[in-house]
Amino acid sequence: MAATVVPPSLPPSATPQDYFRIVSPTLIIPRDPKVSIPVGILACQRDPLLRSIETTIVSCTVYQPPPSTSKKTKNAVSAPTLPDDPILHVTLHDTVVFPEGGGQPTDTGVISTREGKNWRVLQVKRHGGHAVHYVHVEDGDLEGAMSAFVVGLQVIVHLADTDFDRRYDHMSMHTSQHLLSALLETRLNLPTLSWSLTSSPTPCYVEIPRILSGDEIQLIQNEANRLVFEGRRVHVEVEELNWADEKGVDILENGRAVGKTLPQDYTGGVKRVVVIDGVDRNPCCGTHLPSINNLQLFLLPQTETISRTNVTSSRLFFLCGPRLLTYLASSHSVITDTGFILSCGTRLVPARVAQIVEERKRAEKRINDLELELSMVISDSMVSEAINFFQGSEAGLFKKYMQRTDDAGSALSFLSSIAFSFSGSFSERSLAGRFLIVLSSSPSSQSATSTTLVMVFGSEDSLVKQVSDRLKTQLSVKGGGKGLRWSGKYTGVWKNSREGAGIVEMLTEV
Ligand SMILES: [Zn+2]
């Protein structure tokens, strides 16, 4: 005796009876369980809040993956990635799992078969006029899977909590987009060029021909929310599709197409119009909420300009429903976390950040001033040493190596400042002696990837060249420079007793 499929315990649908309206006297929903109901009048499109349906398997084949032709933009919700495991293509008589279309991505779902097994539906796609479920064969047992999906058997297809949350977010954003586009059209005479249902919780956007002013954004938002508070109802009207009656889309002066047409590969034979009472009628195959009453719309108070070759348009970002709450919660936590770090209330965060930025600017200036002062002190001390040296040996060469420890982001500028200041005071005092100086600067904590900066300067090009050539060959210091100054970088741990001693030895040999 064949086992029966146990229905999951899910909340009943709250979609009103008059949501789905067949407006043609001759359009009939196929009842024959051997026939797949076409996309346009599927259970998910007749009753968007229905989470489970008992139905029949119409066909099942092993999936042959086609070559990848994905051209999704990086922001849009893409279908869940298919794993390497085998996949079945399953067509059912009817389904609550929405196949992608109308800018709305595919749902995910579950099919329960009579052995009591739950199979994940990773995607549903429209093939011609029919919805094909991509069923994951997790254990790789294709034979077992094929025996579970025998044509004519009963199954239950349903949306688990995560599947329904994803779908609810998608339909909230989709219905809001219809409302928003209708208001942009009727109040500001702006057509919607395209829209993108982005991954939650990123705001979605509509693309329109120009930037909106702050007042216009406010006007549209107020108007939308007035309609939301009125709780305008939404319903769907379907009739047979007559291709001869279908108009092409309008083309703007700049060449962009406006509005929607049915996909050319659609063979379902159903024309579907989504109606927001008194606001909008729009051909669309997506799933839409029966009412806009909980879709409070938030328009991000700025638009983003998009420039393509000789066409400019702009993006208006929006949020509503569960996505608005997620966005609000994350924005709130960003601002409270920042307030906590700054030890102030959230309202004071902008002023406190401005104050810190200002203080930082002042502190940077003070560091620069102090570095300059310190470089002069160091160079003066070296100049005094040189003067003493020349008193004993007028024709001699004053040689000096000095190592510094410095965690500055750009220690090279400090070394340059010492070199500049030394050469300056040398010529100021009209000193004529010969000199050759090497400076190095390492961070306080060193590792194999640390950088030590080395600078060589002297009174003659040939002296600088002699030392820099040896730094390159003997200590693998990589650097460049010509004339009286040369600088380079050493990677690794710099020890005074090793690299430092090497430089002292090089100097004695010059
Ligand atoms: Zn739509």
Task: Verify that 308 and 213 share a domain, yes or no.
Answer: yes
What CATH number should be reported for the domain holding residue 482? 3.10.310
Tell me the CA–centroid distance for residue 204 and ligand 1, in Å: 13
Tell me the CA–centroid distance for residue 260 and ligand 1, in Å: 9
Task: Verify that 367 and 438 share a domain, yes or no.
Answer: yes
Tell me the CA–centroid distance for residue 473 and ligand 1, in Å: 69
Task: Verify that 181 and 323 share a domain, yes or no.
Answer: yes
Tell me the CA–centroid distance for residue 102 and ligand 1, in Å: 5
Task: Verify that 474 and 365 share a domain, yes or no.
Answer: yes
- Last residue within a domain, chosen from 137, 161, 185: 161
Q: How far apart are the first and last CA of the chain?
A: 101
Among residues 424, 417, 422, 419, which one has the least CA distance to residue 383?
Answer: 422
What CATH number should be reported for the domain holding residue 204? 3.30.980.10
69 touches 119 (CB < 8 A) = no
Coil, strand or helix: which one is 435? strand
Task: Verify that 157 and 174 share a domain, yes or no.
Answer: no
**Within the chain, what is the greatest distance between any pair of CA atoms?**
117
Residue 343 lies in a domain: no
- Last residue within a domain, chosen from 161, 189, 211: 161
Q: For strand 109-112 and strand 20-22, is the pairing parallel, antiparallel, or unpaired? A: unpaired
- Output the 3-class SS for 355-380: HHHHHHHHHHHHHHHHHHHHHHHHHH
Residue 497 lies in a domain: yes
Tell me the CA–centroid distance for residue 439 and ligand 1, in Å: 69
Q: What's the domain range around 236?
A: 167-328
Tell me the CA–centroid distance for residue 112 and ligand 1, in Å: 30
Task: Verify that 131 and 172 share a domain, yes or no.
Answer: no
Q: How many independent structural domains does the chain possess?
A: 3
Residue 14 lies in a domain: no
Residue 20 lies in a domain: no
- The 8-class DSSP code of residue 85 comes to S
Residue 57 lies in a domain: yes
Coil, strand or helix: which one is 304? strand
Task: Verify that 137 and 224 share a domain, yes or no.
Answer: no
Tell me the CA–centroid distance for residue 287 and ligand 1, in Å: 8
Tell me the CA–centroid distance for residue 226 and ligand 1, in Å: 21
What CATH number should be reported for the domain holding residue 95? 2.40.30.130
Residue 352 lies in a domain: no
Tell me the CA–centroid distance for residue 171 and ligand 1, in Å: 9
Tell me the CA–centroid distance for residue 103 and ligand 1, in Å: 7
Tell me the CA–centroid distance for residue 191 and ligand 1, in Å: 14
Task: Verify that 315 and 372 share a domain, yes or no.
Answer: no
Say how far apart CA 499 and CA 486 lie, in whole Å. 17
Tell me the CA–centroid distance for residue 107 and ligand 1, in Å: 15
Task: Verify that 370 and 286 share a domain, yes or no.
Answer: no
Q: Please report, in tens digits, the pLDDT of each residue of the chain (510 residues total).
A: 455 676 678 888 899 999 999 999 889 999 999 999 999 999 999 999 999 999 999 999 998 666 655 555 555 676 777 788 889 999 999 999 999 887 899 999 999 999 899 999 999 999 988 999 999 998 888 999 999 999 999 999 999 999 999 999 999 999 999 999 999 999 999 999 999 999 988 999 999 999 999 999 999 999 999 999 999 999 999 999 877 677 665 655 555 555 566 666 676 688 999 999 999 999 999 999 999 998 999 999 888 888 877 778 999 999 999 999 999 999 999 999 999 999 999 999 999 999 999 999 999 999 999 999 999 999 999 999 999 998 888 778 999 999 999 998 778 999 999 999 998 888 888 888 899 999 999 999 999 999 999 999 999 999 999 999 999 999 999 998 888 999 999 999 999 999 999 999 999 988
Task: Verify that 94 and 212 share a domain, yes or no.
Answer: no
Tell me the CA–centroid distance for residue 59 and ligand 1, in Å: 29
Task: Verify that 132 and 190 share a domain, yes or no.
Answer: no
Coil, strand or helix: which one is 154? strand
Residue 423 lies in a domain: yes
Place of tokens 């990677």: 491
Tell me the CA–centroid distance for residue 30 and ligand 1, in Å: 25
Residues near ion ligand 1 (Cβ under 5 Å) = 102, 284, 286
- The 8-class DSSP code of residue 389 comes to H
Residue 338 lies in a domain: no
- Last residue within a domain, chosen from 135, 161, 187: 161
Task: Verify that 130 and 176 share a domain, yes or no.
Answer: no
Tell me the CA–centroid distance for residue 467 and ligand 1, in Å: 73
